[in-house]
């Protein structure tokens, strides 16, 4: 059930009006990898979220880099499986944002949106900095909300029938 909740929240957030690059997608990828029972499911959830929403929002020539960065973020999330410290979650969020920034903007440069030179690559990354700030802020806030809400809910339902239904 948790996997479906994450997919629905992620898809809905991509459709709702928002500041560019401020969605919980990276936080969901981190959280899913850290808390879903299997690594396979942890990787499938963010991919299903992205593919489903991109089918409606439209495909683009750098989609493989976006989806690839989400997969890499899931791998970072797997390393958070036993993390409980806020600083660890924040560090994972920061690293995830950096991975997304580097991978997707390298993809934009490779796709020919900028000259295929070192100066073109530099221009691509410089132009993306404002979007990075938004992505980082969205990922940090969403991660704190997801991981924090989960910890609170886990304590409230521990030992009840809701524990299996909601948290697994």
Angle between helices 25-35 and 63-78 (to 10 degrees): 40
Task: Identify the band that residue 19 occupies on the pLDDT scale cut at 50, 70 and 90.
Answer: confident
Mean pLDDT of 137-161: 87
Is the pLDDT score of 167 beyond 60? no
Count of alpha carbons within 13 Å of 137, Cβ hemisphere only? Answer: 11
Task: Identify the band that residue 138 occupies on the pLDDT scale cut at 50, 70 and 90.
Answer: very high
The token duo for 129 is 């900095």
CATH of the domain at 34: 1.10.1760.20
pTM beyond 0.85, yes or no? yes
Q: Report the alpha-carbon distance of residue 140 to residue 71 in Å, rounded.
A: 18
| Residue 38 DSSP class | -
Count of alpha carbons within 13 Å of 78, Cβ hemisphere only? Answer: 14
Q: What is the pLDDT of residues 62-114, one digit of tens each?
A: 999 999 999 999 999 999 888 778 899 999 999 999 999 999 999 999 999 99
| Residue 166 or 15, more confident | 15
Angle between helices 118-157 and 25-35 (to 10 degrees): 50
Task: Identify the band that residue 146 occupies on the pLDDT scale cut at 50, 70 and 90.
Answer: very high
Task: Identify the band that residue 161 occupies on the pLDDT scale cut at 50, 70 and 90.
Answer: low
Which residue pairs, CB below 8 angstroms and at least 24 apart, start in 94-99?
A: 94/136, 94/140, 96/26, 96/29, 96/30, 96/139, 97/26, 97/132, 97/135, 97/136, 97/139, 97/140, 99/69, 99/72, 99/73
pLDDT at 153: 84
Domain count, the chain: 1
pLDDT at 166: 62
């Amino acid at each position: 059930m948790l996997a479906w909740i994450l997919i629905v929240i992620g898809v809905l957030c991509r459709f709702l009006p928002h500041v560019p690059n401020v969605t919980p997608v990276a936080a969901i990828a981190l959280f899913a990898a850290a808390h879903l029972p299997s690594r396979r499911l942890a990787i499938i959830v963010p991919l299903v979220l992205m593919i489903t929403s991109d089918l409606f929002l439209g495909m683009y020539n750098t989609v493989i880099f976006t989806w690839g960065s989400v997969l890499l973020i899931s791998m970072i999330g797997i390393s958070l499986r036993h993390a409980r410290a806020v600083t660890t979650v924040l560090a994972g969020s920061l690293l995830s944002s950096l991975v997304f920034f580097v991978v997707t903007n390298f993809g934009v440069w490779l796709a020919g949106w900028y000259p295929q030179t070192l100066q073109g690559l530099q221009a691509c990354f410089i132009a993306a900095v404002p979007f990075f700030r938004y992505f980082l802020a969205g990922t940090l806030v969403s991660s704190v909300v997801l991981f924090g809400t989960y910890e609170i809910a886990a304590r409230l339902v521990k030992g009840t029938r809701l524990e299996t239904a909601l948290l697994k």
